[in-house]
Amino acid sequence: VLEKQLNAEYRAPLEIEYEKCYLRMLQPSKKKYAGMLVVEPDDEPKLCVSGLECTRRDNFPLLVDSTRRLLELVLRNADVDGALAYARETLAALERGDVPAARLTFTKGITQSLDQYKAEPPHVAVARRLCARGEPVGKGSQIQYVVCRPQYRGGDKFVGASEFCSQAHAPDVTFYSDFLRRAMKLILSQCADAASVHHALRYDVTTTVARPVKGSLLAAWGCPAVTTTTRKKRKWGTASALTGESV
């Protein structure tokens, strides 16, 4: 019906073909968008996403689930304040160490024989280490790994899911929070002002993780890592670093 109305109003040589109808939509860039797709007038709109982080199957579950939840809050519920609060609490939980390693696991496939890889991306490094330990790994294998903070110089940064032990390894909170911030900012910057996004993504907070040095007495006693969170003092000048306006 809409196609007929538009073509009646805008006559030849212009011809408009109806493709999709979105109730609400975000489009950070040409090939990255999300919207509430309306298929039939009486049906419930469904979330349709293209090009954003939550569409990638190899990303860690926390990133996929949290970005999809943000889109649901913004597009389905039109709850921007709720989305900002959710983003801040998700990052705070990550920095507190409340997120299990299973939610931080990347999954990537081995597409060729291990000796054919000239470079050594993280999943290949883990696969070679597992293979050296006698585990059956080869072309077609799905490798799961967690990005960790090495406890000593030369330690493993990428740890296989089967190798991960909470007593010996700790996820790299800085890496994951930065990764999560980038994905969340892409969404939130489309619907909220810069200052609100800055606060929600905890750019005003610094998290430091200190761990016992391997071979030290504290390490021998099994002392856990210590996480310290501090709030940065914002410097007010003649112009806002976020908006470029006078404050």
**DSSP, residue by residue, 47-116:** EEEESSGGG-TTS-HHHHHHHHHHHIIIIIS--HHHHHHHHHHHHHHHHHT-S-GGGG-EEEE--S-GGG
Which of 28-42, 106-120, 166-180, 199-213 is predicted least confidently? 199-213
**Beta bridge partners of residue 206, listed in sequence order:** 230
8-29: pLDDT as tens digits? 777 667 777 778 889 899 999 8
Instruction: Specify burial of residue 190 (Cβ count, 10 A radius: 0-12, 13-18, 19+).
Output: middle
pLDDT band at residue 233 under the 50/70/90 scheme? very low
pLDDT band at residue 205 under the 50/70/90 scheme? low
